[in-house]
Structure 1
Amino acid sequence: MSTSPYLSQAFDYSSVELKSPSTEIRLLQLYPSHPHESDGEKPDTGPIWDDSLVCHLYTTPIDNPENFKALSYVWGDDTKTKSITVVGSTPTGKTPGSGAVSSQRTSVIRITESLSTALRSLRGRRQDITLWIDQICINQADNDEKGQQVGLMGAVYSRATQVLVWLGPAADGSDALMDAFKSIGQGARDFGIESYLTRERYHLIEPMVSDEQPDDPATKGLQELLDSTAEAFAELLKDMTFKNWISRPYFSRAWIVQEFCLCADTVFVCGATKTLPVELIMFGLLMLKLAIGNAKRSNYTALLLPLLPLQRLQEVNQEPMAQLLSCRAIRQKHGGEPLYKLLRKCFVGHDTRAREHRDRVFALLGLAADADRLGIRPDYGVSDACILTRTARALIEMNGRVDTLCYSQFPKAIDHLPSWVPDWRSNLRPSFYTVNEVTNPHLFAASGKDSVLEAVAPTNEEEDQKHALGLRGWFVDVIEKIAEGDGWTDLGWDHIRYRHFFTQVDDLWKCSMEKNDPIHGDDTTATRRRKEEARWRVPIGDVYWTVEEGSQRASTDVAVYHGHTLKNIQYFERINQITPVDNYDRENDTSDWQERHRNGEVGQNYHDSMVVMKDKRPFLTQLGYLGMGPLEAQPGDAVVIFCGGQIPFVVRPLGPPPDGFQARQQSIYSFVGEAYCDGVMDGELIVKEKQTFFLS
């Protein structure tokens, strides 16, 4: 078919009207590239690039739709340089057949080049395929319809017979990588790896990976599979085939999360011929990570330095599919996660993108287990700021998620957003305090163990309160001093930066020790002893991390490891400053340091524990509290605790406080950020009178 028989007028969506956009959808019947070929004349493989795309649109009820496949893809450039011809104008039902196309009324829908490429690869030579595609099936120019149809996307992807994940054309060795995933993934499935992927049985994998019982049949089987995995993937990692594959734009798109997770039958499609179930990718990726973790023990030299650069291994650990597969597994097995956890999983520390900021929320509603209760609906008739504010208010006031405030970070990506509202942009900084609430108890309880959120409606409709968040809580103190410079931003071992940071903490700590306010009780000796501990608790936020135990509240033993870290700094200062003429025995000192490092005597875990305090700045309050706060904090800011919150926050009073700062009972503040404040993390201040804080 050529394009000549078809008219070029734009398609009129009213010709296939959705009588009820909240209960109906349009489907696209994509015609084959060679409808007149007889069976057996040519194999049904490969796209026909010089043919027009031709389709028919019709409607179907979402509660009982006709069978269809849903496409999950990347729009690409907004410029719609390609087109698809639409034949027929009946609102419901398929056309009599693609052979009669030339005699029917036709029109054109402009589409992106990315979608055009996908459709040319996905269509058959002689058979129609019925699809749902957002770019075509939704009238993108009608915001009312768009909002209602986006609200149905969860149902669309749940009710599709199959979801086609289009990764793009074959390139950069993608065929070879898909073959490796297919081979290893199927091998893992045949082994029965899925039976071990439960909370009760997952621990059984490690002894088999470690080859603890070489004669055990299951261990033998897994060891053989690991050998095959190392052989299959080594070269694909080394030549960056794997990196190029996971760097495809699809994996950074916000909308893919629900599209990827909702349908039981979801397949990756890469190029014209490579199609693979998601589960085989998941199993293959798991085996690859197990093989890398076992490389030294099993002597997989192809996965070790120097044959495989460290950067290639890091790419496997940082691949973007892990959160996708996690979301999918939870959805398929347990029905989904709350919106707050999905937002955090997608946008904190991940480069997840959306065309509009509101889509960062809308893209997850179909997957969120609490979407209906929160009452958030897709609405393209209001601003991004309005949608994000509604979302933040619902998460905080209805779900009690005070920790939503941890992700209100500066500078904001959009204008006119209240200070307390997260923009959920890509790569938000992780909170210094994150706990898996399903499996682990909270480490902190700044507002008390049984405290719940107490929200307060604004008392008037003045501009400074109209979008305010009112929360009850406790005033801690005013920040008096804050460390200068860029805060704690370096994660590498740089003894100069470490020395500078510890000097800043120690200077503020000495000032704290000189203050006489009884912030830890009336017992002067006990208060002084507890204030001494702040010197080593503050740099790690009072959370000590080890490989064996994970993150735990720091015990008094950690003071020793803090001392080891300081000695480690002194060691590096010494070997970098002393010259040969000083008769310094560098070799013996280095050997001694290496021995102490092996014995855990150089503060390795302590400075590893400091990672969570990245982008925090030490501060001292007027009463003598020592803590770590956001980079944006300033002297005069207040440290506060909100009811239902596990950690304190820093806020900034708007205007001079009347009649003394502490006496201010209902005040307007600008939100600044999360904080660790030593001595108030376990409900010590809940005996004080509560106040109301309005965040602007």
Structure 2
Amino acid sequence: MTLDLMVANPFEYIQLRDVRCIRLLELEPAREESAPLRITLKKARLDRTCLPRYEAVSYVWGPPDFNRAITCNRKTLCITPSCERILLGLRRKIKRRLLWIDSLCINQSDTNERSRQVSMMDKIYKSANRVLIWLEVSGPKISSFFKYLAYCARYCDSYEGGVLVREIRTVLQFLRNLEDKVWHSYSNAHEDYMPIAQQIFRSPWFQRVWTLQEVSLAQAKRVVMICDDEEISWRHILRASAGGYPLDGVIRSEMLSAIAAHCFFCRLIQWERSRVRQRIRLLLFGETLRDASLVPVQSSFFNFSSASKIDLRLFRKHFQNVNMVLNLTRRKHCYDPKDKIFGVWGILRELGVDLSRPNYQLELETVYIRAASDIICHDGNLDILRTVSSPRRAQTLPSWVPDWRTGWGLAPSFLDLLSPPFKQSRTRFGHSITRTRTLITKGTVLDRIKECAWPLMIDGHDPEELIQRDLWAAIAKSDPVYKILQQWFSYSQQLSTYPTGDSTQNAFERTIQQRIQSQYIPLGADERWFDMVAFDAAQMEWNSPKPQINTAEMAKDFAYGRLQPLSTRKEPEINKASDREAHEFQRTVFDHLCGKRFFTTEAGYMGVAEFSIEPDDAIALLIGQDMPVVLRRRGDAFRFVAVAYVDGMAESHTWPERVDDNDIIEIV
């Protein structure tokens, strides 16, 4: 179709005056694949029992190039190439097909309509007869790979009716059966199917915000994935990934199970083939065999290399925390940054959360401020502060509001999120937010930062490979991780006494280990590591002038890749050294503390916090926040800097009997 004709006879959307109305797309059949696409957009009342049976499509928009022309209601409508491919792929030869596709059924140029329709998205997907996950993936092995996944799912369903088994003997027998009857019967299946699995599960669909909500809100039995004209039930994917038990009702509903599997598959294809069997065991039951039903949810948040080190029982009471649900979107993609909030609005409403309705006419900062305020009100605490820190956050946002456009950055680890050490403030929370975007709460400033050591960051290049036989000699000579931690220890030893009465070395060990659970540390590995740090630190001289650290420049360097967290660098070959358990402990330490900075305070405490802290920053306890926070004076108010771990401070502080006896603290 020529451009002149496209301009001369354009399709125009008719306003939906009834707020309960949606548009459905009727796709005309065609016997020839080359036949022009013809659709008709019709209105339908979403709340009527006579709502026609339709299929909702979950897909990735792709580049917003509206350079393909189709016939819509006998006029010309410009659509994107990806949308054209979907319509061609779903078009039948004889029968019409009734679909809901957001880019066509919503007038994207009308922000009021977009806002209303987005707030109905949960109902749209729940009301659909089927939800079609459209992946633009093709290959000769898709059909056999889908059959393979379905076989795994059916076998898992047949094992004791899908009931989760908990006895160790039964677990081991199940693993043997699974390996014998599934993996062995599909000889070398993981080798044969790994390329197509990578192609499918690395699809952008798994990385988008909107697709997370779309598949999560639908019933799994009504969801199918389509690749190259081949279909597989989403339920089969869930069952195959769960490894033998249904995910329905694992936490609250099937919806959250879909979230778990959605995120899980982003990790699945990164497994090393040589460790498939080990990873299967971890996926199914975890190393502790406790709360095995939560392992898929666990995999939503953690790399499998460290997943088993978490006590899964901590998840149950925290997962429905609104702040954690929103943070599922932090690393997912969308064209409009407002959709980091609006894209999960339906999920939150399904969980009973009263978040402000989507409104695309609002400025981005207003959307984020409202979301942060809603989270604080719903959760009844200030846990949101733990997810604020990010080197790329916009400085125009209030310091207490997360910039959801950025990833986690250097935010506290999930150990911080799941196991807070200080709980006295939890039931005393109260706050208000002014029109000037100021968070007003109560608390008390207890201390100030005196000195800061170097953060656990290194330059982006890989360290020189090490071949020394002695692990500790190798680390001490060449590993910057070890040298920085030596410096941390030296700073701690400048404190002659500790306020709690304990030794400074014990305080340092607690600060480094924090809440890394002892049952996951090989016996004696931590003691050997601390002994070595203490011995080498005693041989080093730290009396030379300490270099000044420009945290603003450091944040800029990190944001643009000139600095990297230690955990992202290539691992040196010290793995080949003798004491692997102690080295593994060190890896656990810096994985937990990467991007953080050791500090001492004027009152003689020690702790760690994000690298953006500076000397003279205030350390405060806030009502509604379980951990100490670092604040920076800004006139009569403060800017929030970071949540901190300060060894012994929270435990030794006694809150006033009356809330009103605390200080009013304003955070801008």
Residue number in structure 1 paired with 2:254? none
Give the Cα–Cα distance (whole angstroms) in 2 for the partners of residues 61 and 154 of structure 1.
15
Alignment of 1:511 onto 2:494: yes
| More deviation, 478-487/634-643 | 478-487
Give the Cα–Cα distance (whole angstroms) in 1 for the partners of residues 298 and 575 of structure 2.
45
Alignment of 1:482 onto 2:456: no
Query: Match for 1:56: what amino acid?
Result: T
Query: Match for 1:467: what amino acid?
Result: R
Q: Show the 5 A alignment for 1:157-306.
A: 157-170=125-138, 173=139, 175-192=140-157, 201-204=164-167, 207=169, 210-211=172-173, 220=177, 223-228=180-185, 231-237=188-194, 240-264=195-219, 265-271=222-228, 273-286=229-242
CA contact (8 A) 1:166 1:269 kept: yes
Distance change >3 Å, CA 545–CA 233, structure 1 → 2: same
How far the C-alpha of 1:230 sits from its partner, in A, is 5.7
Give the Cα–Cα distance (whole angstroms) in 1 for the partners of residues 281 and 211 of structure 2.
20
Residue number in structure 2 paired with 1:451? 427
1:653-690 per-residue CA deviation (whole Å, 9 max, x = no partner) reads 113xxxxxxxxxxx411111221111124363425952
| More deviation, 494-503/471-480 | 494-503
Give the Cα–Cα distance (whole angstroms) in 2 for the partners of residues 605 and 372 of structure 1.
41
| More deviation, 124-133/561-570 | 561-570
How far the C-alpha of 1:409 sits from its partner, in A, is 2.1
How far the C-alpha of 1:317 sits from its partner, in A, is 9.6
CA contact (8 A) 1:489 1:615 kept: no
Aligned partner (choices 672, 681, 692) of residue 641 of structure 2: 672
Give the Cα–Cα distance (whole angstroms) in 1 for the partners of residues 387 and 482 of structure 2.
29
Alignment of 1:13 onto 2:13: yes
Query: Match for 1:9: what amino acid?
Result: N
Query: Match for 1:376: what amino acid?
Result: S
Residue number in structure 2 paired with 1:664? none
Give the Cα–Cα distance (whole angstroms) in 1 for the partners of residues 665 and 631 of structure 2.
9
Residue number in structure 1 paired with 2:527? 560
1:518-575 per-residue CA deviation (whole Å, 9 max, x = no partner) reads 732xxxxxx1x244312211123343354489xxxxx9x89725435638989xx9xx
| More deviation, 241-250/614-623 | 241-250
Q: Show the 5 A alignment for 1:372-411.
A: 373-411=353-391
Give the Cα–Cα distance (whole angstroms) in 2 for the partners of residues 426 and 203 of structure 1.
40
Identity %: 21
Distance change >3 Å, CA 202–CA 675, structure 1 → 2: farther
Residue number in structure 2 paired with 1:536? 509
Q: Show the 5 A alignment for 1:111-150.
A: 111-150=79-118
Alignment of 1:26 onto 2:23: yes
| More deviation, 475-484/617-626 | 475-484
How far the C-alpha of 1:399 sits from its partner, in A, is 1.7
Distance change >3 Å, CA 398–CA 308, structure 1 → 2: closer
Give the Cα–Cα distance (whole angstroms) in 1 for the partners of residues 576 and 71 of structure 2.
76
Give the Cα–Cα distance (whole angstroms) in 1 for the partners of residues 159 and 633 of structure 2.
54
SS in 1 for 2:76: strand
SS in 2 for 1:367: helix
Distance change >3 Å, CA 133–CA 8, structure 1 → 2: farther
1:296-332 per-residue CA deviation (whole Å, 9 max, x = no partner) reads xxxxxxx9xx9946799999999xx9669979xxxxx
SS in 2 for 1:512: coil
CA contact (8 A) 1:139 1:146 kept: yes
CA contact (8 A) 2:444 2:662 kept: yes
How far the C-alpha of 1:422 sits from its partner, in A, is 0.8
Distance change >3 Å, CA 79–CA 382, structure 1 → 2: same
TM-score by length of 2: 0.74
SS in 1 for 2:358: coil
Residue number in structure 2 paired with 1:690? 662
- Give unmatched runs, 5+ long, in structure 2: 246-267, 284-294, 302-316, 464-470, 541-573
Aligned partner (choices 343, 347, 351) of residue 367 of structure 1: 347
Residue number in structure 2 paired with 1:295? none
Alignment of 1:344 onto 2:344: no
SS in 1 for 2:24: strand
- Give unmatched runs, 5+ long, in structure 1: 35-47, 88-105, 213-217, 290-302, 328-333, 521-526, 550-554, 574-589, 656-666
Aligned partner (choices 35, 38, 44) of residue 60 of structure 1: 44
How far the C-alpha of 1:413 sits from its partner, in A, is 4.7
Computed over aligned residues only, the root mean square deviation of the Cα atoms, in angstroms, reads 4.2
Distance change >3 Å, CA 357–CA 452, structure 1 → 2: farther
How far the C-alpha of 1:502 sits from its partner, in A, is 2.1
| More deviation, 48-57/176-185 | 176-185
CA contact (8 A) 1:546 1:605 kept: no
CA contact (8 A) 1:545 1:605 kept: no
Give the Cα–Cα distance (whole angstroms) in 1 for the partners of residues 29 and 575 of structure 2.
72
SS in 1 for 2:385: helix
How far the C-alpha of 1:367 sits from its partner, in A, is 1.2
Q: Show the 5 A alignment for 1:277-676.
A: 277-286=233-242, 308=273, 337-347=320-330, 351-369=331-349, 373-414=353-394, 416-425=396-405, 427-429=407-409, 431-432=411-412, 434=414, 443-448=419-424, 451-458=427-434, 466-484=436-454, 487=457, 495=476, 496-513=479-496, 519-520=499-500, 527=501, 529-544=502-517, 546-547=519-520, 560-563=527-530, 566=533, 594=578, 597=580, 600=581, 602=582, 604-605=584-585, 607-655=587-635, 667-676=636-645
Give the Cα–Cα distance (whole angstroms) in 2 for the partners of residues 57 and 434 of structure 1.
46
| More deviation, 483-492/279-288 | 483-492
Query: Match for 1:679: what amino acid?
Result: G
Distance change >3 Å, CA 470–CA 407, structure 1 → 2: same
Query: Match for 1:260: what amino acid?
Result: V
CA contact (8 A) 1:208 1:222 kept: no
Alignment of 1:155 onto 2:112: no
Residue number in structure 2 paired with 1:45? none
Give the Cα–Cα distance (whole angstroms) in 1 for the partners of residues 373 and 393 of structure 2.
19
Find the structure with the greater CA-based Rg: 1
CA contact (8 A) 2:137 2:200 kept: no
SS in 2 for 1:641: strand
Give the Cα–Cα distance (whole angstroms) in 1 for the partners of residues 449 and 327 of structure 2.
29
CA contact (8 A) 2:390 2:408 kept: no
Distance change >3 Å, CA 142–CA 220, structure 1 → 2: closer
Query: Match for 1:477: what amino acid?
Result: D
Query: Match for 1:475: what amino acid?
Result: V
How far the C-alpha of 1:109 sits from its partner, in A, is 1.8
| More deviation, 667-676/627-636 | 667-676
Give the Cα–Cα distance (whole angstroms) in 1 for the partners of residues 198 and 534 of structure 2.
40
How far the C-alpha of 1:455 sits from its partner, in A, is 0.8
Give the Cα–Cα distance (whole angstroms) in 1 for the partners of residues 606 and 272 of structure 2.
48
Give the Cα–Cα distance (whole angstroms) in 2 for the partners of residues 498 and 7 of structure 1.
63
CA contact (8 A) 2:389 2:411 kept: no
Query: Match for 1:669: what amino acid?
Result: F
1:35-83 per-residue CA deviation (whole Å, 9 max, x = no partner) reads xxxxxxxxxxxxx542211011111111122211001001100111112
Query: Match for 1:10: what amino acid?
Result: P
